[in-house]
Amino acid sequence: MSSSVPAPVDDALVGSAPRGALRARLSVSLVFAIMGTTLGSWSARTPEVRHSVGLSDTAWGVANTASTAGDLVSLGIVTVLIGRVSVRRLTLAGAVLMLVNAPLMASATTTVALVAGLATWGFAANLLSTPMNAQAVEVERRYGRPLMSTFHACFSFGVLGGGLLGTGAASLDVAPSAQLAVSSVLLGTLLLVSGGWLPDGAKAPPREGRFGDRVRHRFTPQLLLMGGVGFLTSFVEGTTNQWSALYTADYLGAGGAVAAATYTAFAVAAATARTAGDRVIDRFGHRRFLRMSSLTAMLGAVIIVAWPHPAAALAGFAVLGLGVACVLPSLYGIAGRQPGLTAGEGVSVVNMGQWPGFLLAAPVIGVFADLTNLRIALGILVLSTLCVVLLAGRITVAADSPGTEKGTEKATEKATEKATEKGDGNHLPDH
């Protein structure tokens, strides 16, 4: 499946990276693509699954809250285990569970089976999210330059590819369960081949005190700040996912085709931004990049609200996608390099902070839309992005992080030393 091996890992500098670093990068890219492809394939086939189960709009919405329950359970488990258990094991467990569950969930014909599948999906997705982002931080360390946005581009293109596969399979009358079974087998085979290449982060150093105190040790002011920015970013993304098409179709009266194009414009813009985000961070640094991104996102939000026209909505959500796409990946990269914490511990705090934002976006906008109208309710996007602009300047980036001069020099020197010891002449590229 072409969507399972994403193009963003193919850059001009890969060829000069040590083989171990390249293998780690490819394996982590695959894991991001697995999550995206599975999500995209499932999303494209949900109308048929809903018809098979026979649920009304209300019942379908209620059933989907099961994934939130699964999210919450795995969020707690990962918070306990991260830093104590191998991140490679957590990643493999989450990826395998996701691949096994997908065709079973798609074959549901009863409400009980559907709810069980959705709860398992939520559990697997959150079980996978923190460790795979921690592994992305480890790959960044090995390369000595930002790569997090590229990994998230693999997820984005996986979603787009999975959606196209689902659309094609539906047009050929292939059952959702059969399509997802084939996808799972192919992706699982690639995971079997490359699973051993996944990097394994360091375990947390022994700390005195009760376990609860050791967990609270992670919640530093900086990580809480990043968790807050993550919440706002996820709220913006969740609002777009749930309301962009409805705003264009219903409030602006543009029809279904333009409504679908509006969300697609956001998704394509976000995926495109993620392919270039790392290079921009490498040039300008994380803090300046976060300000630039959030200002771009705010501009998109202003366009959407200020000009109630389908063309403005299309352009506005595209600009919003360009701005918001790399904020969370950048936060994960910074959080994974906090002093005194493992990458997984830092990432887990940001992940915990951003998670409610996506969940609350749909009902909060819905309530404000009922009280006023949808256009005014979407003004919350402007306020959210403005808050991100103001908070981004308070985020502190570790001096040895990729995207800083010291970080690039340190990683390059370390790689050169390793290459010299091995006598193979291979080393990381200078920047």
> Per-residue pLDDT tens for 413-424?
444 444 444 444
CATH assignment of the domain containing 117:
1.20.1250.20
Q: What are phi and psi of 290, to 5 degrees?
A: -60, -40
Domains held by the chain: number: 2
* Mean pLDDT across the chain: 85
Q: Tell me, yes or no, whether 242 lies in a domain.
A: yes
- Residue 19 above 90 pLDDT? no
Q: Tell me, yes or no, whether 206 lies in a domain.
A: no
The one-letter code for the residue type at 61 is G
For 345-382, letters b (16+ CB in 10 Å) and e give bbbbbbbbbbbbbbbebeebbeebbeeeebbebbbbbb
| Overall average pLDDT of the 323-352 stretch | 92
Nearest to 87 by CA among 201, 10, 179: 201
Picking from 147, 165, 199, the residue at the C-terminal end of a domain is: 199
Give residue-wise pLDDT tens across range 264-323: 889 899 999 999 999 999 898 888 999 999 999 999 999 999 999 999 999 999 999 999
Confidence of residue 211 (pLDDT cuts 50, 70, 90): low
What is this structure's pTM? 0.82
Domain identity same for 183 and 238? no
3-class secondary structure, 82: strand
Domain identity same for 5 and 98? yes
Helices (H) and strands (E) in the chain, counts: 17, 0
* Total count of residues recorded for the chain: 431
| Overall average pLDDT of the 194-215 stretch | 71
Give residue-wise pLDDT tens across range 341-374: 889 999 999 999 999 998 888 888 988 998 989 9
- Residue 426 above 60 pLDDT? no
The one-letter code for the residue type at 62 is V
Domain identity same for 158 and 276? no
Containing structural domain, residue 99: 1-199
Domain identity same for 237 and 161? no
Nearest to 133 by CA among 335, 280, 288: 335
Q: Tell me, yes or no, whether 416 lies in a domain.
A: no
Q: Tell me, yes or no, whether 403 lies in a domain.
A: no
3-class secondary structure, 372: coil
